[in-house]
Amino acid sequence: MSISNHILIIFLMVWANITALYACNCEPAAQPEVADWNDADVVFTAALSDHKMGLVGMLKFESREKFKGDVEPIITFYFQPGKDHTLLHAVKDFNPGVEWIVFARKEVVGDKIHYRLKASPSRTVCALSRPIQEDREKDPYLLFLKSIAQKANGHQEMYDENNQLIAEGNYIGQIPVSEWAYHNPERKTSVSGQYIEGRREGEWIQRKELLNGEKQVIRKSIYRNGNPVEIDDYRHTGVISLKKVLSDSTEVRHYYRYDGTLKSKITDYLDDNTSHIVNYSESEAIEEERYLEANRLKRQYWYDETGRRVKEWVEPDEN
pLDDT at 317: 81
**Residue 6's pLDDT is what?**
45
Sign of dihedral through CA atoms 128, 145, 183, 202?
positive
Q: Are the beta carbons of 44 and 67 closer than 8 angstroms? A: yes
In this prediction, residue 108 carries a pLDDT of 86
Contacts of 228 (CB under 8 A, 6+ apart): 221, 222, 246
Is 231 in contact with 247 (CB distance < 8 Å)? no
User: What is d(CA 83, CA 248) in angstroms, rounded to the nearest whole number?
Assistant: 10
Q: What is the dihedral of CA 184, 190, 194, 196, to 10 degrees?
A: -20
Give the tens place of pLDDT for each residue, 198-249: 999 999 999 999 999 999 999 999 999 999 999 999 999 999 999 999 998 9
Average pLDDT for 5-10: 42
Q: Does the pLDDT of residue 22 top 90, yes or no?
A: no
Angle subtended at Cα 107 by Cα 101 and Cα 109, rounded to the nearest 5 degrees: 150
Which residue spans within 185-261 are E strands per DSSP?
A: 189-196, 199-209, 215-224, 227-234, 240-246, 250-256
Coil, strand, or helix at residue 187? coil
> Contact, 286 vs 303, CB < 8 A?
yes
Which residues fall within 8 angstroms of residue 316, CB to CB, at 6 or more apart? none
pLDDT of residue 2: 46
pLDDT at residue number 87: 60
Beta strand segments in the chain, E: 42-52, 57-68, 74-79, 99-109, 112-117, 130-131, 154-159, 165-172, 175-184, 189-196, 199-209, 215-224, 227-234, 240-246, 250-256, 262-269, 274-280, 286-293, 296-303, 309-314
Residue 315, phi then psi, degrees to nearest 5:
-55, 130
Beta bridge partners, 100, equal 46, 131
- pLDDT at residue 150, rounded to an integer: 92
pLDDT of residue 7: 43
Q: pTM to 2 decimals?
A: 0.85
Does residue 79 or residue 293 have the better pLDDT? 293
Query: How far is Cα 38 from Cα 167, in angstroms, rounded to an integer?
Result: 11
Mean pLDDT across the stretch 190-202? 97
In the chain, the percentage of residues whose pLDDT exceeds 70 is 86
**Beta strands 274-280; 286-293: pairing state:** antiparallel
Q: Are 216 and 210 in contact (CB under 8 A)?
A: yes
What are the tens digits of pLDDT across the range 257-301?
999 999 999 999 988 889 999 999 999 999 999 999 999 999 999
- How far is 19 from 53, CA to CA, in rounded Å? 12
Query: How far apart are the C-alpha atoms of 22 and 87, rounded to whole Å?
Result: 9
Domains of the chain are 25-151 (2.40.50.120)
**What integer is the mean pLDDT of 166-177?**
96
Question: What are the tens digits of pLDDT across the range 175-185?
Answer: 999 999 999 99
Q: For 163-176, what is the mean pLDDT?
A: 96
| CA atoms of 54 and 79, how far apart (whole Å) | 10
Contact (CB, 8 A) for 238 and 259? no
- Residue 149, CA distances (Å) to 9, 117, 142 in order: 54, 20, 10
Mean pLDDT of 139-152: 95
Residue 12: per-residue pLDDT: 37
The whole-number pLDDT of residue 270 equals: 86
Per the prediction, the chain carries an average pLDDT of: 88
pLDDT over threshold 60, residue 11 = no
Output the pLDDT for position 14: 35
